[in-house]
Chain A
């Protein structure tokens, strides 16, 4: 049996999606504008909040510049997810309902790969660039602020990219697990909603949950569904004044991030396989 070249298949997917996006150019531009304006509004909200307060939480180190680096990180991860996986996960749910998954199962290529990547939503990448711009701007601010002792080297950049990658893997796994549940439920119309509600928790620094019943959320979303690590670890690498002199806790978090990425990917693979076994096709 011939082994398909996964990279080439992916590149073909990416190219086809690009061709498709470019044939509806106006729509492409509108989509970019639309996701950019949601991000801008989010930015506006926090600009307003920082008019009234100079930090989110007391002594947490999330001042204005630091927090906007966090926000930029969220935009990047979100946009990667939406570019590469969101449309595909929705499509996967739809394939299960209509029975079109039969065709994916027949192809001589890994099914999870095939359903995860066919459509690349290039327009959603706009927010990643915006996030990058915001991060560079505020990092510059931080580095020029004599009151903040920042450690920044080329290694921070590598570490950042690495942890963003780990985070994206975790989010991808969560999404595949959610999408796989459609096999059991027949149809998962709430996929988008579920996704929205889950990502709601990872959009803020984890310090805000460190009180009262918040600790329960903190524990759940750090260790069980590790989505707090997704956003917090990369953002801390760049933004936290302590970035250079990490304590035990920071190292634990960073390790968590890697473990979470590997672990969640493995769990998602298992869930996907088990779910596929219950697939009974549909229609004719």
Chain B
């Protein structure tokens, strides 16, 4: 591998990156509106949890200035809402809409051939593309996000976390981007074997929704009769939503927090290697459908 080789690669990826950025900027108004609308479900969640906490708090506290005083699985009312807001941040990094189906479709209709005849790595290109899309997304979504978080500042009772927690939080967000990307790529690559991965994608979505903490904080999961709470600890899903949020809110602290971060790195490495392996095996048995 000489210097020109790497220079060639870098310019290639840079071009991909620019194309993807421009592609996204076309729909910027749609984007801002879409981002703001994203918070609407959170609004209903605020009222739903308000009512739920009302029932477990002392009478009258729900409508007082300090909010309901009850606790559910270690969460106060403000803590619960702060959790849901932070999960939106985690998901802004880890969610990869259309990645799995995109890869599967390319395999099925034969478009993937272009990566076989060109000296371009498909997963690498997709990664660059996603980075570009996400960057544009943050650029445009920053304003709506800032607005919502500023309005909801009161839910974050303990304010900003200390620097070391902040460091773990940001690192875990960046890792959750990689984890989301490689995990979904792996599912997409299974199309080499099955062609139709819609039902697989669906199962993944369901598991992700339930086990990542997107739906509710994982602390709420039952430990009896099946220890679901213990089970999710051994799954990669929790790093896609729960973990960064829990770190930020101080739900996971100290040694446990660092251990979680190491586990997340492990999962990322695991899925990088798995995607490489799936790709090399898949290409070998690929039979090139479509024209």
- A interface list, Cβ under 8 A from B: 30, 34, 37-38, 41, 44-45, 48-49, 51-58, 60, 189-190, 193-194, 197, 200-201, 203-205, 207-209, 211-212, 214, 217
Taking the nearest CB of chain B, how far is it from the CB of A220, in angstroms? 12
- B interface list, Cβ under 8 A from A: 30, 33-34, 37, 40-41, 43-44, 47-48, 50-56, 59, 62-63, 72-73, 198-199, 202, 206, 209-210, 215-216, 220-222
Across chains A and B, the number of contacting residue pairs, with CB separation under 8 Å, is: 80
Pairwise interchain contact A58-B50, C-beta atoms closer than 8 A: no
Contacts of A37 in B (CB 8 A): 206
Asked whether A214 and B47 contact (CB < 8 A) given A30-B199, A41-B209, A193-B37, the answer is yes
Asked whether A204 and B215 contact (CB < 8 A) given A30-B199, A37-B206, A57-B54, the answer is no
Q: Is the interface of B mostly helix, strand, loop or mixed?
A: helix
Pairwise interchain contact B37-A45, C-beta atoms closer than 8 A: no
Our pick among B37, B209, B222 for the contact of A197 (Cβ within 8 Å) is B37
Our pick among B40, B44, B56 for the contact of A204 (Cβ within 8 Å) is B44
Pairwise interchain contact A56-B48, C-beta atoms closer than 8 A: yes
Pairwise interchain contact A204-B222, C-beta atoms closer than 8 A: no
Pairwise interchain contact A193-B34, C-beta atoms closer than 8 A: yes
29 A-B residue pairs with Cβ-Cβ distance under 8 Å, sorted by A, are A34-B199, A34-B202, A37-B206, A38-B206, A41-B210, A45-B215, A48-B216, A52-B52, A52-B56, A52-B220, A53-B53, A53-B56, A54-B55, A56-B48, A56-B52, A56-B55, A57-B52, A189-B30, A190-B33, A200-B40, A201-B44, A204-B44, A204-B47, A204-B48, A205-B51, A207-B51, A208-B50, A217-B43, A217-B47
Docked CA distance A60–B220 (Å)? 23
Closest residue on chain B to residue A47 by CB atoms: B222
Our pick among B30, B59, B202 for the contact of A58 (Cβ within 8 Å) is B59
Closest residue on chain A to residue B70 by CB atoms: A53
Docked CA distance A41–B72 (Å)? 20
Our pick among B41, B72, B199 for the contact of A53 (Cβ within 8 Å) is B72
Pairwise interchain contact B63-A211, C-beta atoms closer than 8 A: yes
